[in-house]
Chain A
Amino acid sequence: MFGLKPDAALELPENYYVLDDYEKGIARWCDGCGDHAVLASVQKLCREEQLDPVKTVFVSGIGCSSRFPHYMNTYGFHGLHGRAFPVACGIKHRRPDLDVFVITGDGDCCSIGAGAWIHAIRYNVNLTVMLFNNEIYGLTKKQQSPTSRIGTVSNTTPRGSILPPLDPMQVTLGVANASFVAQTADWNPAHMHATIKAAHAHKGFSFVHILQRCPIFQPELVNELTSNRDNICYLKDDNGITVSEDIEKTFKHSAPHDPSDINGARQLAASEEKIYLGLFYQGKNKENYDDYGAHNLGVTVEEKTAMLNAEFDKYGI
């Protein structure tokens, strides 16, 4: 209307947070570990969105990457190996007012936690999920993980691994009700940041597969990934992950892809030709299981007991 701007009505929160407000302790990852980059990006996201630290929760399983909640000055839950998702879904179910992030590793998510992972995707609970994939168990000092490439020499596969790796992107895209599936790399901080930001803005299970450098146990892989620019291809679309022109130039290849096209997304994930970075798939207005979890939150325990007792009384003899 005349002279009116809707944003003028925005209520300002009481506090203003700076990076320091989200930082805690000294991150004990190895020097040069990709996890540092993700941490910096997530802290920046918190500041950009001015997330209230007491209304933000980071839930993780076990692994190097899963130490993440310790370095965030928010609430956190460093849980059981492979069980980040059930904990996070539970939190979101009863506390829809909290912003819940899930940090998990390739071992944590795709190995011991695979069962929980599949169903969390289908439940499409409103979480921002980051899978740190270094293709190895880092914390326990180099055992093969389900995502390790054939021939990976590790403490459990001294003569090289033999099974083909599991691709988290293909798995996620294959599960019913998947709603946000993106891939990025920790060594392109601008692209990663844009991806995490888009994931956070999405309502539902936002899955970000992060190619993560472990220079200690996967030095050759890191070298190959970061130096061979021919392997990587930037997915370009207005509805996808967009970066500034300067950052776009850091990619040698780019390809168009409409993120509403799930079949195209599955093809990209299955392609052996290149590693695609960007938003593979986004479906809006999909069913969110947590929408059904919180509708009786205002009812007190006494009221619930009374109502249940009234029900039971009907069957009393």
Chain B
Amino acid sequence: MSDTTNIGSFFIEDAPEIQKVIGTEDVPLISSDFTSDITVPVLREVEPADEVEMKKAWKSIRSFFRNGNSKKSIKNSTPLLSLPYQSDAFTASDYPIWISDVVGDESCCRSLQELLTEAVSEATGGVESSILKNNIARIVKTVDESLAKSGEVTTFYSCILAALDDLAKRLSIPGDDGKKFDKHLKRLRKVIPTHGILVPYNSNAGFQIFGAMLQQETGRRSQQLSDKILKLKCKLQGQLAIDHEKEEQDPKELESTLSFASELLDFEKVSKVLPDAGAVQMSASRKKRLEDTIAKLEIADKLLKNKAFVFIGDDQKTPESPDWKLLLGDVNIKSFKKGAGYTTIKKAFEQEIEQWTLVIVGIQIAELELAGRYMEDVHDEYFESLTWRDFSEDEITSCPPFVLIASEEYIADSEMGEFSKILSKGIPIRSLVLKNDIEDAYKSNGVETESNFSYHQELGAFVISHRNAFVCQSTAIKPLVLYNELKNGLTVASPGAFFLLSSIRKKPVDSYMWVSAAVSGREYPGFTFSGNMNSHWGSRFNIDNNFQAENVWPIEEVIAQKGKEDETITAHFTYADFATFLPKYTSFFQDVEQCYWNENLLELAQYLKLDKEEAVGKVPFIWMADEKLHLKKVAVAWPLVLKCRERQDFWRFLQESSGVNNYHVKNAIAKAEESLGVIAAEKMEALKAEHQVELQAAVDEAAGQAMDNLSAVLLDMDAGTFVPGSGSSAPGKAIEKPAASEESDTPEVPTEADSPAISMAAEAYIDTALCTSCNECTNLNGSLFNYNDDKMAFIADINAGTFEELVEAAELCPVGIIHPGDPVNNNEPGLDALIERAKKFN
């Protein structure tokens, strides 16, 4: 007895030493080569602290909650829902993107992945699995890596060709597979576009998209417009030329053109009898108008040289700001000083539009003239007083756009009054308003004071309040969506404002993560608002471009490991989760040790739903995971809770405006349900009563029939032929007709004898999916039979073997899946016997 206790205590005492040898949880001894990558978060099993300790700890937790004075850092922890993306290998999913640099492409902005998938399926003829198809991700990755190396935009074609060569070299696939692969590669090179650029994700991606969109759209439009003007001009000139022809022919002119006949003709006389002479000529005023119009149209030649006018705030000259000249290409760029933005751009717009008014007038007159519908008494006056305000949407958008680019602060600080004027006057000037994380990324080290805590500019909402502008708030996270949003903004005649959030963190992965978190945590929700005066208010909003737009906060289930079991954790991504990315908020987070977890610790999303009384004594937390993937509950301090409330409120404003959980809709539904409930209850009663009557009738009828049937049987009649409802009108007949039952057994499909004889030859085939790869058929004739990529047999070339071989293979095949069909070559000897043998397998 004492021996055993001794041994026991020996082990306990020496346990730390022993554990050094065998390894423990705290000293992970597994060398990194051997660890399998674990990605499942772990929920540890921890005993709760005793009552006294619990009380003590909670006193300090509550004090933290009130003051937000945490000293502990959460630097090495990640919000649970962003855990899966904490890898440097993570690549932004829709990037790199291909952007066309040739005006007129149908889709100008596509993800490389999508572009390749389509091209590969074309190159491989749409087969289900091919080596090329299985390696699209690899091609994308190679391109990604080469883009990451240069960090720059690259020409698509050279980059993709290099990636394909790299793939071919790296895989160096042997044998038949290799040949097929080479063939597919060759075709792929022919199918992919040879123009365009590749854009990786980085802090300038959004601007790149804006620039590409602007070039595409303005290029396309100016092309259309100049085509149109050219046509009109030609036609007008044609009219003038005809008129000129109608003038009396000058004998001198005749003489010069017909000089070879000078000895034969009297030009004086001929000129009098030529057919045109004497036709009605156009009035002088019309002629002048046509000439004026042509002159007006000619102004466009000069104007079209400027595809767009871009005014950039002089704060956009910092090292962090993009090189706009490079991004926007061939447009007219000017810079403006703080506070002078809208006045400058408005003046420039007015000057330019005055010129354009002449051109548009020219087009309108030309069109009326050519249609023969110009009426001087009406139109002269009309065109006299025409301004750009009378333009149609198409006409306005065919003029070069005016774009003002500035940071959010620049506008909020000193431009609000002018901005508002532009918006309310409906002047079609677009603003690209930029916001980035410069403060969070570099400058912030202090603690945010409570006074500036809930200050959010929300310029988007400011523009919405003007009702008739186009607004979009977005990011470059989803490049294709962004492209289309921006394009839509440019195709309406109203003023527009594009708000773009970007991040200038050094690593693109970090930037992407930060922006995604800002959108997910409702810090910067995406939305568009199309302020078309003739539309319903609600229909102007769109918030689809958000993570789980239907929820207040995004919500996801995460499977964690607790001991040997799985545990499902439901976690939200709130503004506080986003705030963990901002150093200035560090003191508002405090990890609560697991032994102090109790029912007073409430997930923040739940906490925010409580009313004042319910919230007393509770402390909100968010789920995070540390480097070892251990789950943590991190308490959030009161000042940050207030900020979350504010963000939730703004998001609810967008949601309700777009009809999600809308107050009025909810009320209306409740009311409708109530009144429908009353009606439904009444209806139900009525139906029940009705049903009762019908039921009784049915019971009566059935009873009657049963009686009839019974009597029929008693009378030795065939009850099977008894037609319900026909009474007992056919006694005796059934006895004579025993065939009745046989008839009903016959299915209503045409029997073999019925179907017309088809003379088409049955083709040979193999049930490939059932092939057991036994080599029987391929050994017999390797050209006739072949294995596919999955080493399963199919008929590769029916003409590479005889019918006899087909039949023999069918007989050899251990699983009987070869069907020889009919012979293709009717001259083969001994066919009759072979066809007989083949029958079994067809």
Contacts and interface: CB of A to CB of B under 8 A. Distances in A.
Interface of A: 1-6, 8-12, 14-16, 18-20, 31-34, 36-37, 39-41, 43-44, 95-97, 186-190, 213, 215, 222, 226, 244, 246-247, 250, 285, 294-299, 304, 307-308, 310-311
A304 B141 CA distance: 43
Contacts of B564: 285
Contacts of A33: 774
Given A37-B772, A297-B34, A3 B85 contact: no
Contacts of A298: 23, 28-31, 34
A5 B23 CA distance: 36
Q: Could you say which of B21, B170, B520 has the most chain A C-beta atoms within 10 Å of its C-beta?
A: B21
Nearest to B22: A296
B90 interface: yes
A311 B36 contact: no
Given A295-B23, A296-B21, A97 B30 contact: no
A167 B519 CA distance: 60
Nearest to A188: B770
19 contacts: A1-B82, A2-B546, A3-B519, A6-B85, A8-B91, A9-B87, A9-B90, A16-B131, A18-B177, A19-B791, A32-B776, A34-B772, A39-B773, A188-B770, A189-B772, A222-B814, A250-B770, A298-B29, A311-B17
Given A9-B89, A97-B34, A190 B770 contact: yes
A256 to B, nearest CB: 24
A4 B134 contact: no
A20 B89 contact: no
A84 B774 CA distance: 26
B477 A3 contact: yes
A119 B790 CA distance: 36
Given A31-B776, A36-B774, A4 B516 contact: yes
A308 B20 CA distance: 10
A216 to B, nearest CB: 12
A313 to B, nearest CB: 11
B774 A32 contact: yes
Contact of B771 (A12, A189, A244, A285): A189
Interface of B: 14, 17-18, 20-23, 28-31, 33-34, 36, 81-82, 84-85, 87, 89-94, 131, 134-135, 137-138, 141, 170-171, 173-175, 177, 477-478, 512, 516-517, 519-520, 546-547, 554, 564-566, 573, 769-776, 779, 789-792, 812, 814-815
A4 B85 contact: yes
A270 B737 CA distance: 52
A251 to B, nearest CB: 12
Nearest to B518: A2
B814 A226 contact: yes
Nearest to B771: A189
A211 to B, nearest CB: 12
B781 to A, nearest CB: 14
B376 to A, nearest CB: 60
A297 B33 CA distance: 10
Contacts of A12: 137-138, 141
A297 B21 CA distance: 10
Contact of B814 (A16, A43, A187): A187
Contact of B36 (A44, A96, A246, A250): A96
B779 to A, nearest CB: 7
B21 A96 contact: no
A37 B775 CA distance: 10
B85 A9 contact: yes
A246 B769 contact: yes
Contacts of A213: 814
Contacts of B81: 1
B408 to A, nearest CB: 20
Contacts, number: 165
Contact of A44 (B29, B170, B520, B791): B791
A2 B477 contact: yes
Contact of A296 (B23, B174, B775): B23
A308 B85 CA distance: 43
A8 B93 CA distance: 6
A97 B546 CA distance: 41
4 closest Cβ pairs, A-B complex? A40-B773, A298-B31, A37-B772, A3-B477
A299 B85 contact: no
Contacts of A244: 769
Contacts of A10: 89, 137
Contacts of A296: 21-23, 29-30
A187 B93 contact: no
Nearest to B175: A20
A243 to B, nearest CB: 10
Contact of B93 (A4, A11, A14, A246): A4
Contacts of B89: 9-11
A32 B771 CA distance: 11
A8 B90 contact: yes
A178 B546 CA distance: 47
A8 B92 contact: yes
A31 B779 contact: yes
B520 A97 contact: no
Residue from the set A9, A188, A190, A215 with the largest chain B CB neighbour count within 10 Å: A9
A186 B814 CA distance: 11
Nearest to A39: B773
Given A97-B36, A226-B815, A295-B23, A1 B141 contact: no
Given A1-B520, A32-B776, A299 B177 contact: no
A16 B130 CA distance: 12
Contact of A310 (B17, B34, B137, B769): B17
B410 to A, nearest CB: 27
A36 B772 contact: yes
A33 B517 CA distance: 58
Given A37-B773, A296-B30, 20 more contacts: A2-B547, A14-B170, A15-B170, A16-B170, A32-B776, A33-B774, A37-B774, A39-B773, A40-B790, A44-B791, A96-B36, A187-B815, A189-B769, A296-B21, A297-B30, A299-B29, A304-B21, A307-B17, A310-B17, A311-B18
Nearest to B86: A9
B516 A2 contact: yes
B520 A190 contact: no
Between A2, A5, A295, the greatest number of chain B beta carbons within 10 A of the residue's beta carbon is seen for: A2
A219 B173 CA distance: 40
A190 B93 CA distance: 34
A8 B90 CA distance: 6
Given A8-B90, A294-B34, A310-B17, A285 B565 contact: yes
B565 A295 contact: no
A308 B477 contact: no
Contact of A3 (B17, B21, B93, B769): B93
A36 B775 contact: yes
A3 B516 contact: yes
Nearest to A308: B21
B70 to A, nearest CB: 25
B527 to A, nearest CB: 13
B573 A307 contact: no
B323 to A, nearest CB: 25
Contacts of A39: 773
A36 B85 contact: no
B807 to A, nearest CB: 17
A187 B90 contact: no
A9 B137 CA distance: 11
Contact of B516 (A1, A40, A308): A1
B773 A36 contact: yes
Contacts of B547: 1-3
B22 A295 contact: yes
A168 to B, nearest CB: 21
Nearest to A94: B34
B790 A44 contact: yes
Nearest to A191: B770
B69 to A, nearest CB: 30
Contacts of A14: 170
A31 B774 contact: yes
B520 to A, nearest CB: 4
